[in-house]
Amino acid sequence: MSIPVVDPERYDQQLAAKRERISRQFERFSPPPLEVFASPPSHYRQRCEFRLWHEGDDLFFAMFEVDPDDPKHKRVIRLDDYPVASGRINELMPRLRKALLASDVLRRRLFQVEFLTTLSGEALVTLIYHRPLDEAWENEARRLQQALDILIIGRSRKQRLVLERDHVWERLEVEGRTFHYQQVENSFTQPNAEVSRAMLTWARDVTRGSQSSDLVELYCGNGNFTVALAENFRRVLATEISRTSVASAQQNLAANGIDNAVVGRMSAEEFAAALKGDKGGRRVTEMALAEYDFSTVLVDPPRAGLDEASCRQLSEYSRVVYISCNPDTLEQNLESLSRTHRIARFALFDQFPWTHHCECGVLLERHVA
């Protein structure tokens, strides 16, 4: 791992390089012009984790970087600030370090600190230890929570102490609407809130005009897209395997007053089997799949992309919205999907500036016979 070097004056240059790379990589699929959505050039990550490094009486936030001269060796990089992280995280870093230096109870055997923040400044800080946490720790942590105006969770082996709550509420303004998202500690959320807003805006745009049909969503996470797209469809059926994410998605549907979407806990493979008629027990029966008219499928898979069976399943839909965090596996999947569909919209979302990572969005429409 190398720590991103943030240089805002070069941002346009690095984004242009990504545009060129993605355009070249997917050229053979004859996509329309690439739509590019920029990130803020700095202070864009709403969540970060750091090692807490101890040197004698001192301690500081740290990350590790592979030594290019000795790849087996990792160098400890001290971080007094971190331009990648949100303004709120940068504001908290020196204040938290100062408080830890002043408290033997809070600093003892503390080895990792995780931050989860929102655009409005809400902050959840998780302190992770190599020792059991006791009443003395809890008393000190409650004082710190009040002093820094944050939420605190303490973790150690087989122990998780939530002092107030285990989540923050992100509010994203999208096309004049405010969407509310519960984001739970230690579960996946989009790290770049501004780019997440762009992704939701794009996804709403490419699915507009579908109110007479239904959307099926695979890998829905905490309902990030489900919430924003529900009004574009008659009904939405979303699936997700993570129990925590399903619970959070259901909270988010309720918080946004959405009554035409359902989230079911099952894997993409289980759902594919259910569509083919596998009874699958009570969960499948409750979905009442026969009542849906799915015109569109949205898929946001992990970095490994989709297997061939999943691609065959997607090919049965009129429209496919594919959100990808790995252009290489997206390219592989398009080899299959392009047999039945054409790329109607193509987007690059710069979720992770100053790294080689690219997030893409593709709208696929079935070939007209």
Amino acid at the residue 13: Q
Mapped onto helix, strand or coil, the DSSP state of residue 244 is helix
Helix (H) or strand (E) holding 70: strand 70-79
Q: DSSP alpha helices (H): ranges in the chain?
A: 11-25, 87-101, 104-107, 135-148, 193-206, 224-229, 243-255, 268-275, 282-287, 308-314, 327-337
Catalytic residue among 122, 270, 359, 360: 359
Residue ranges of domains in the chain: 8-41+192-366, 47-168
* Burial of 189: CB neighbours in 10 Å, binned 0-12, 13-18, 19+: buried
CA angle 304, 305, 310 (to 5 degrees): 130
The 3-state secondary structure of 97-138 reads HHHHHCCHHHHCCEEEEEEEECCCCCEEEEEEECCCCCHHHH
**Coil, helix or strand at residue 152:** strand
pLDDT at 265: 87
Query: CA 69 → CA 65, 76, 130, 198, distances in Å?
Result: 12, 15, 32, 40
- pLDDT, residue 369, reads 63
- Helix and strand numbers (H, E) in the chain are 11, 17
Domain 47-168 adopts which CATH fold? OB fold (Dihydrolipoamide Acetyltransferase, E2P) (2.40.50)
> CA 141, CA 127: separation in Å to the nearest integer?
9
User: Which residues make beta-bridge pairs with 8?
Assistant: none
Q: What is the pLDDT of residue 153?
A: 98
Task: Specify the pLDDT at position 298.
Answer: 95
Nearest to 129 by CA among 104, 114, 143, 108: 108
Name, in order, each residue with C-beta under 8 angstroms of 237's C-beta and a sequence gap of 6 or more.
214, 215, 216, 217, 261, 262, 264, 287, 289, 292, 294
pLDDT in tens, the chain (369 residues): 578 889 999 999 999 999 999 999 999 999 999 999 999 999 999 999 999 999 999 999 999 988 777 878 888 999 999 999 999 999 999 999 999 999 999 999 999 999 999 999 999 999 999 999 999 999 999 999 999 999 999 999 999 999 999 999 999 999 999 999 999 998 888 899 999 999 999 999 999 988 889 999 988 999 999 999 999 999 999 999 889 899 999 999 999 999 999 998 887 777 777 776 666 556 666 677 778 889 999 999 888 888 888 888 888 899 999 999 999 999 999 999 999 999 999 999 999 999 999 999 999 999 876
Per-residue tokens: 66: 């592979």
Is the Cβ–Cβ distance between 39 and 195 less than 8 Å? yes
Give the position of tokens 């574009």: 232
pLDDT at residue 263, as a whole number:
93
CATH number at 8-41+192-366:
3.40.50.150
CB atoms within 10 A of CB 293: 10
Residue 280's pLDDT is: 58
Quickly count: other Cβ atoms within 10 Å of residue 172's Cβ. Answer: 21
Single out the catalytic residue among 311, 325, 358, 360.
Answer: 325
User: Up-side HSE of residue 114: CA atoms within 13 Å toward CB?
Assistant: 14
pLDDT score for 83: 97
pLDDT for 264 equals 87
The count of residues in the chain is 369
What count of other Cβ atoms lies within 10 Å of the Cβ of residue 303? 10
- DSSP category for residue 85: B
Active site residue 48: no
Catalytic (active site) residue 359: yes
Q: How far apart are CA 192 and CA 224, in angstroms?
A: 13
What is the pLDDT at residue 163?
Answer: 98
